[in-house]
Structure 1
Amino acid sequence: MNLDLSPQQLLPRLQVLVFILAAVAIAVLMVDQFRQGLYSLVLTNAIAIPAFLFSAMFIYINRDRHGYLWVNYALVLILSALAVYQLPDYPQLMMHYLYALPLFSYFCLPIFHATLLNLAIGVLMTAIIWFDSNTANGLRTGTNYALLLGSAWCFAYLIQMKSRALKRLSLTDPYSGAYNRRHFESVLEREVARAQATSGRLSLIGLELDDWPQWLDIHGRAAVLKFLPEFVHEAQQQIRAGDDVFRLEKELFVLLLPGCPEDGAIVLMERVKRVLQQHTWNPFAEITLSAAAVSWQSDDTAEFLLKRLQVKLTQQRRTSLQLAAFQD
């Protein structure tokens, strides 16, 4: 199994492996049940083996597509129905089967759908034990299932939160909250490819903080890092909903503008620069920015487009320094 796959690609492959192992485990269990003379249980459980194997084959065939998830719903419903059907005849054995359902369902289904299914199974199982046995057994069964369900839900929720946090950390700069350079390169490659395919438009705006070294010397690293999220938030307020802010270097930020022509990018650049420079920042009295805008041309690659922006920013910074020296 290729461990370099993304989580979205790795999950269906793990499900295939688990389903095959589950089919093998049920086959071994059926041999023991046959030896004990539980023939009706053997025949009923035999339905689960082709269900597991069919699901494994279907998911493997569709492992790189988005349409494989529905088969998990069918599999979990079949297994749940078999266990509930056998519950009145084999209450102790089937209760232990159903106790494993929460963890298995959270592995196969989205957390919300798995929770609804488990709540329904828990209520149904408790009612069957209650009426077939007694109130005490019914309450005990419901309580045990609720504890298992709560534990499985907490585990699934923590895994989901961890996955989201890792994804956010892999895409964003931890200090400013803007997207990081790695994500910028992948998004820029995608947008350039889209512009080439559709003859669309694409522009970049570079914003460079001119006084970055002086800020670190005067105000310290903590004050500068506290300023960065506010700066990114204010920049995001000035751009369109589909545009993004990226932090490529310590003092360099890039606005990626899909579908924006060059004249529109220049107008937006001047507005963003003016708003950011006129904004009141703490603890800085004022900030100065070097800004440049470039637009994609038909022969540009993503790397060359970024290089053109950096060259233009360097030229802009030199011009600003020359004007400042001339004024002095």
Structure 2
Amino acid sequence: MQHAAKNENGLGSVMMLPHRLRNDFPLAVITLISGMAVFVLGPFVIYRFATGAMVHGALNLLVVLAILGAMSYAWRTGNCRWPGVFLSIVSVASATATAMLPGAVGLHWFYAALMASYLLMGVGEASVLIIAAVTALVVHGGAFTSATQMWTFVVATALVSLFAFVFRWRADAQHRQLELLATLDPLTGCSNRRAMDRELLIAVNTNARTRAPFGLAMLDLDHFKAVNDRYGHEAGDQVLVDLAELLRSHSRQEDRLFRFGGEEFVLLLPGVDEASLFTVCDKLREVIAQSLSHAEQKVTLSIGAAALRAGEDWQSWLVRADKALYAAKEAGRNRVCVAPPSADGPSSSTR
């Protein structure tokens, strides 16, 4: 039975490989470049040793082992930054060192190492690394047969670096924009559920390390369907936009607001414990009751809140807040219900 379970776990891990490559771009780049480097350098290792070029062969073998180690680390830990930096330094350093060896043709490999650096590192780090390597080659001088060849190499390297810099800078800008769009609700400008899942997990991990308190509030507009039915969906959308703006303007800078779906919102409250959770939420309820309206019709909301328990996962935390919200609706709406730390039913109060 244990052997079968291990086989199933191993098969599951293998099946997850394509998913990780599709959804983790840095890991995909590290894997692609590492695979290509090993595929290209592997035969050279054999050739160098077979022809007696022990120094060149040992250098190539060291590079292959370093590349495989960095790729393995990235896959095991999910941390791609330091493997990327390490691979870049190894690639550029090995190309530079090979170019300095007598009779070597390392300059031809330098451009491949240059491009790999801009794909694996930040543009600033890659630029510093390339400038340092080119400076070392120029000062050493052994890689060039003439001054003309040296300056041709310097100019060509500068141009290729410029093209790589622009490409990587543009790709990073587009990636940041896509990440932002993927975590924002287009109507209200609030963060969406994808961002909420990540932030709640961070809050749980922070609480586990530091015992810092966190409060969670689920907010739902009362009788929102009646607004849509009577005034139309455009009016309903405007009410949601106005609600989001009111919540943002009356929350602290460190609070995080998410649109959960429809007329439901979630507010993450760092530093708010169970003792102060009701007061914080009820102030928001009062602000909305006094300020939010459409066509002279007041719009109210109900709030269910829960303080994070020690050792609780974020899904259970969210479920408790949702149950408290349901209790607030059942108790007559326009009120705050706070889930107690025990398994008893949520407590409620209305101002």
**Could you state the TM-score of these two structures normalised by the residue count of structure 2?**
0.67
Shift in CA distance, 216/181, structure 1 to aligned 2, threshold 3 Å:
farther
- 1:230 and 1:92 map into 2 onto residues whose CA distance is 69
Partner of 1:311: 326
1:115 maps to 2:130: no
Shift of 1:90: 7.6
Shift in CA distance, 84/4, structure 1 to aligned 2, threshold 3 Å:
closer
Partner of 1:254: 266
- 1:190 and 1:72 map into 2 onto residues whose CA distance is 25
Partner of 1:80: 92
* Cα pair 1:87 1:95 within 8 Å, conserved: yes
1:153 maps to 2:165: yes
- 2:301 and 2:83 map into 1 onto residues whose CA distance is 55
1:184 maps to 2:206: no
- 2:160 and 2:103 map into 1 onto residues whose CA distance is 18
Letter matched to residue 43 of structure 2? V
Shift of 1:104: 0.8
Name the stretch that deviates more: 294-303 or 44-53. 294-303
Deviations 1:241-289 (A, max 9, x none): 44311111222212122442344222222332344555589x9767622
Deviations 1:172-230 (A, max 9, x none): 32322222234435654665687689887543333334475536864763x76577566
Shift of 1:12: 4.6
1:49 maps to 2:61: yes
How do 1:218-229 residues align onto structure 2 when only pairs under 5 Å count?
Answer: 218=231, 221=234
Shift in CA distance, 217/166, structure 1 to aligned 2, threshold 3 Å:
farther
1:105 maps to 2:120: no
For CA contacts below 8 A with separation 6 or more, give which structure has more relative contact order.
1
Deviations 1:9-44 (A, max 9, x none): 674576356435413312434677899x8x76x743
Partner of 1:291: 302
Partner of 1:265: 277
Letter matched to residue 324 of structure 2? L
Shift in CA distance, 275/7, structure 1 to aligned 2, threshold 3 Å:
farther
Gap regions ≥5 residues in structure 1: 321-328
Letter matched to residue 178 of structure 1? C
1:245 to 247, 251, 257: 257
- 2:209 and 2:97 map into 1 onto residues whose CA distance is 55
Name the stretch that deviates more: 266-275 or 91-100. 91-100
Over the aligned positions, Cα root-mean-square deviation in angstroms equals 4.5
* Cα pair 1:19 1:53 within 8 Å, conserved: no
Partner of 1:325: none
Name the stretch that deviates more: 268-277 or 96-105. 268-277
Shift of 1:108: 2.9
* Cα pair 2:102 2:142 within 8 Å, conserved: no
1:133 maps to 2:146: yes
- 1:193 and 1:82 map into 2 onto residues whose CA distance is 41
Letter matched to residue 48 of structure 1? N
Name the stretch that deviates more: 145-154 or 268-277. 268-277
Count of residue correspondences: 314
* Cα pair 1:246 1:255 within 8 Å, conserved: yes
* Cα pair 1:88 1:132 within 8 Å, conserved: no
In structure 2, the residue corresponding to 1:47 is in which secondary structure? helix
- 1:298 and 1:78 map into 2 onto residues whose CA distance is 47
* Cα pair 1:16 1:57 within 8 Å, conserved: no
Gap regions ≥5 residues in structure 2: 1-13, 336-351
- 1:302 and 1:6 map into 2 onto residues whose CA distance is 31
Partner of 1:22: 37
- 1:186 and 1:71 map into 2 onto residues whose CA distance is 24
Letter matched to residue 133 of structure 1? S
Deviations 1:96-137 (A, max 9, x none): 3111222211333333312221233345556759985235x4
- 1:231 and 1:141 map into 2 onto residues whose CA distance is 61
Partner of 1:3: 18
Shift in CA distance, 107/76, structure 1 to aligned 2, threshold 3 Å:
same
- 1:74 and 1:197 map into 2 onto residues whose CA distance is 30
* Cα pair 1:178 1:247 within 8 Å, conserved: yes
Deviations 1:19-70 (A, max 9, x none): 35413312434677899x8x76x74364032222233135415633377754
